[in-house]
Amino acid sequence: MSAAPGTVDINTQDVKLHIPPGRKRAPFFRYVRFNLPRLTKAAILAIASLLGVCAGYVALGDHEIFPGGDQLLWGLVALAALFVLIGAVTKFRIWDFGLLPAFAALLIWGVGVFQNAPFVWNGAGLYEAAAWNTMMVCAIAYLVIHWALNYGVLVAYPDDQGFTD
């Protein structure tokens, strides 16, 4: 897999060659590499499945977040389940597809905060409020991992950079 024209492929080129003009060092994250591809893939799938489980738990609750919120949450569950299923049984690099459930979860969470989000102080149960916030944390965690994959800090299976874990 080659990098796009004008970009740097840190998998095949020395990181020290990528010092911006006028600086003495490359950016910090060019030096950080975690090469655990199978563990990273398992972590990505676990985060996505937890996101779906939390969305399903909130959708099953009797706290109405906003009109049509339950249908959106069930759609989020379906997106997360599809992502986990495809990621578990194929070798495709589907990490960009995982942005759909992550951004959908953040959008639903953001709209819900300004409507009637399931928090303890407005009538929701403790576990439903925890699931609501965990859904948001999982979405942010996925976005951070996706950034790390694209920057080259992490490696996810089927890529391995010549090593295995």
pTM as predicted: 0.81
Q: Which residue has the higher pLDDT, 72 or 37?
A: 72
- Answer whether residue 120 is part of any domain: yes
State residue 165's pLDDT score: 47
- Answer whether residue 7 is part of any domain: no
State residue 13's pLDDT score: 62
Rounded distance, CA 32 to CA 15, Å? 10
State residue 86's pLDDT score: 96
Mean pLDDT in residue range 65-90 = 95
Domain containing 83 equals 31-151
State residue 54's pLDDT score: 97
- Answer whether residue 50 is part of any domain: yes
With DSSP H G I counted as helix, E B as strand and the rest as coil, what are the percentages for the chain, rounded to 5?
60, 0, 40
- Answer whether residue 137 is part of any domain: yes
- Answer whether residue 95 is part of any domain: yes
Q: Is the pLDDT of residue 131 over 60?
A: yes
Mean pLDDT in residue range 99-117 = 95
Query: What's the per-residue H, E or C state across the chain?
Result: CCCCCCCCCCCCCCHHHCCCCCCCCCCHHHCCCECCHHHHHHHHHHHHHHHHHHHHHHHHCCCCCCCCHHHHHHHHHHHHHHHHHHHHHCCCCCCCCCHHHHHHHHHHHHHHHHCCCCCHHHCCCHHHHHHHHHHHHHHHHHHHHHHHHHHCCECCCCCCCCCCC
Q: Which residue has the higher pLDDT, 5 or 38?
A: 38
Percentage with pLDDT > 90 across the chain: 58
Rounded distance, CA 50 to CA 14, Å? 37
Mean pLDDT in residue range 152-161 = 78
Mean pLDDT in residue range 90-117 = 94
- Answer whether residue 49 is part of any domain: yes
pLDDT, tens only, 22-71? 777 766 766 667 778 889 999 999 999 999 999 999 999 988 999 999 99
**Per-chain mean pLDDT for the chain:** 85
Rounded distance, CA 17 to CA 91, Å? 31
Q: Is the pLDDT of residue 164 over 60?
A: no
Rounded distance, CA 136 to CA 38, Å? 25
State residue 58's pLDDT score: 95
- Answer whether residue 162 is part of any domain: no
Domain count for the chain: 1
CATH value at residue 135:
1.20.1270
- Answer whether residue 6 is part of any domain: no
